[in-house]
Amino acid sequence: MYSQINKSISRYVSFSEEELSTFNSLLEYKKVPKKTIMLHEGEMCNFEAFVIKGCVRKYYIDANGFEVILQFAIEDAWVSDISFSIYETKPSQVFIETLEDCEFLIFSPESKEELFTKAPRFERAFRILMQRNLSVTQNRLFHTISQTATEKYLEFLELYPTIPQRVAQHYIASYLGISPEFLSKVRARIAKN
């Protein structure tokens, strides 16, 4: 049950058995069925969820009512909304929804506090996690600005080769910031060559 998360958290900082079991004791296991919205627009996100099994999408709804997918989280990824109005007063516009039946380990803000008090070295591991996250987001921003739809799609396939088999195509279009119709045309064009 905890092997995946322990391996994941130990990637950049190594922890003792004792530290890991402190960590594990603060997590809550949770099963969530397909198509469940775990975080609604306007709600405060009071969890960080580690995906043991399944697939989740995190998305915004823009001013014209269109969904924009910010993240697909699959096995061994974390999903949460960290932009909890620290720098803005308006509540988050983010939704988090399961796309498959999922199993999570849930980390609450209180547990996180407790962990950092009991085992301060975790603070560093979570900082590095966030740093990676920032790095990925920055990279994606850069590519969103400078690549064509075709380039973005091909890069997506390389970066997340398993996602297209798991989620509907229009979700990928939404992630790439293009219309579903155009993604279909891009794919047709690629297939021809």
Determine the straight-line distance between the first and last CA of the chain, rounded to whole angstroms.
Answer: 45
Burial of 154 (0-12, 13-18, 19+ CB in 10 A): middle
Of the candidate residues 14, 144, 169, 184, the single one contacting a second copy (CB under 8 A): 144
Please state the separation of Cα 163 from the chain's center in Å: 13
- Binding footprint of DNA on the chain (CB under 7 A): 148-150, 168-170, 177-188
- Choosing from 116, 150, 154, 179, the residue that interacts with a second copy (CB under 8 A) is 116
90 binds a second copy per the rule CB under 8 A: no
Residue whose C-alpha is closest to residue 69's, from 168, 145, 151, 187: 168
Q: Is the Cβ of residue 28 or residue 181 nearer to DNA in the bound state? A: 181
- Using the minimum distance from each CB to DNA, give the nearer residue, 130 or 168: 168
34, 40, 118, 124: which one binds a second copy (CB under 8 A): 124
The DSSP annotation for 63-100 comes to TTS-EEEEEEE-TT-EE-----SSS-SSPP-EEEEESS
Q: Which is nearer to DNA, 20 or 186 (CB)?
A: 186
Least CB distance to DNA at residue 165 (A): 10
Instruction: Report the nearest approach of a second copy to the CB of residue 144 (Å).
Output: 6
Neighbouring CB atoms inside 10 A of 93's CB total: 15
C-alpha–C-alpha distance, residues 66 and 117, integer Å: 42
* Closer by beta carbon to DNA, 139 or else 144: 144
CB closer to DNA, 47 vs 140? 140
Binding residue (CB under 8 A) for a second copy from 46, 138, 162, 184: 138
Token pair of 12, please? 């950049």
Q: Which residues would be at the binding site for a second copy (CB under 8 A)?
A: 12, 60, 62-64, 66, 68, 70, 82-83, 86-87, 116, 120, 123-124, 126-128, 130-142, 144-147, 177
